[in-house]
Amino acid sequence: MAIMLSVSFICALTVTQVGVTANTAERKLPIYCVQTDEKKIAVTFDAAWSAEDTNKLLEILKKHNAKATIFVVGDWVRTNPDAVKKFHQAGHEIGNHSDTHAAFSKADREKIKEEIENCNAEIEKITGFKPKVLRAPRGDYDNKSIEVTESVGMKMIQWDVDSLDWKLLSVEEMYSRVASKVQNGSIILFHNGVENTPEALDKILTKLEKDGYQFVTVSELIYWDNYEIDHMGRQIKTQTINT
């Protein structure tokens, strides 16, 4: 089981902002979360393992009127095309998680672009749509990989709330981790094919639904233009001035 790099950032902190078009010497960041006054959050899954829980996850998401973003690996798509189709037909967003789960920070630009485009092609065969968002394998990114992602018109997405389900935590442990950390604009990380994730997901969504949160796709949550990313990875909408 691949180990995911987990970095939890609190989006409500006041931090110094840096522009999206920062100096190339500065460390670039993907989007970890979004600054917003709306009670909207994005539920995401990384799909690289079993697809046996696909129907169960779909039922739970439907029960809570939740739209999720599923970041799929190309190899997983080739093995589980029906699962991809089911998620797409249910209105969930299909994102790119590379073609072979290669470590982006250790790959050159040509290899990264190949990983992105090959996975996009597999997804488009099934859904008819090219993904707009990407998550680096293992959450492993650097300036180079972010630049390549942006060069093909996509946004790189991380997370600010990690369920740590891949560690095979109990339902209660996952619930406690996630429910206590979610805020407006949070992006939550889960995985498919993990034993306790469906039950924990149901419990978590029940709590967050009662708290008034709306569950949207990543593409619906983030800003696509006129924004900054601060040094914590929080995406912040900037003011536009009409002249």
- Residues serving a catalytic function are 46, 191
- 3-state SS string for the chain: CCCCCCCCCCCCCCCCEEECCCCCCCCCCCECEECCCCCEEEEEEEECCCCCCHHHHHHHHHHCCCCEEEEECHHHHHHCHHHHHHHHHCCCEEEECCCCCCCHHHCCHHHHHHHHHHHHHHHHHHHCCCCCEECCHHHCCCHHHHHHHHHCCCEEECCCEECCHHHCCCHHHHHHHHHHHCCCCCEEEEECCCCCHHHHHHHHHHHHHHCCCEEECHHHHCCCCCEEEECCCEEEECCCCCC
Supply 73's token pair: 């690996």
